[in-house]
Structure 1
């Protein structure tokens, strides 16, 4: 069925040339395409990188959440996805089209009592029973999905020294409005550091294709301490969050653009 489609067949379906290749992929967990497309363009300019870009939705509508970035003749994908259904398919395509590194960035809800808002987390694994992950990691009877160790360590080495870095497991749950206080307490008691919507899928799909992946996330709503998106403390941290986002973009770009 669909999983058997070849790279050549899929390029034809999505109106891409037969020799189309990408070198790396960055996914961002969010819903606002244009905001984050503009953010990464600003960072590229700040880094003084010469690039061209286009929304791939102009080539084929389904690809509208992907910003294609060309630098020194190489193509990179940056996509914005809220949850994992479409993300799993973008990752599938990216791996078939040659991506060498897949990095996921974004935010999470904090579950670890000692962690503060805006601190960074490197997920050591992600628990997920979502089919967007399990369809690519059918042997994961414990529902754990892992990053590539070398890429994990490389990201860790690139994080600016002013950040507190946490390492630990997270849970990937796509039903944000279905989360209860009891869920948050239980996840925290079970040792999870955070909850978000995409990381397990990035790990599972990438590993299926034997492509390295890893994730770096920032704590946006510190759930275990009662903070939620849009409350007073969260709103007051808006400017700080934008600075953290910028640094996370830079980390991902530095690694994806590196030839090693």
Structure 2
């Protein structure tokens, strides 16, 4: 597997397909393997690059609390692994990283796709967010990191219809998530440049020169939708796509609809993709 050597870390990445460049940035508690179910489909008409963020998967590094480092790493991937302006998709905390990188280096981006990003999530935290943070940290302090990670993921994947996608997932997916528990718990530590991208201004996002698509799952938390709406009010040209039946794990729950959203398909007059069937 190719890699990029950076100060203190070696980022592992993979590139498949040909066509316009597309870079996928994973969220917390996952690594590049989270894209395995969609990468081949996307690679039929894109040159797709995926990578393990610093501290995740095979990109070994101590846990990163300062997300400016992750943003700089993404810029390095775009410069060294891609070599031309690319469409960049960031899911969950990866969406915040993509937003931060785009505000710093817009010349590296041709388009931006943001999927369920908790942008300014602390600034607009609701009761569930605060309760999750407290419970997670208490479990961590008591020496129960696995339970703490599960608290986070049950919160992140909560479904409006009840339950959560984490508990509905198979053992393989849950094991993959728990394998990346350590950096997740670090990301929930207080930090001025932390996971929720509080240091990036709304104005900086509104002024980005590239087209922006923002993808949401209809089953996800209203908190996530509200964070998007605050940006969309200031930048009404954002193409908002809501995938019916999807939760926070959109690319896993609804891979076909996720791929269609990345490609800008189908033509949507109501900005809503078809309800996913899980295939």
TM-score range, shorter chain: 0.3 to 0.5
Structure of greater relative contact order (alpha carbons < 8 Å, 6+ residues apart) = 1
Q: Normalised by the size of structure 1, how large is the TM-score?
A: 0.36
Q: Normalised by the size of structure 2, how large is the TM-score?
A: 0.34
**Structure with the higher strand share, 1 or 2:** 1
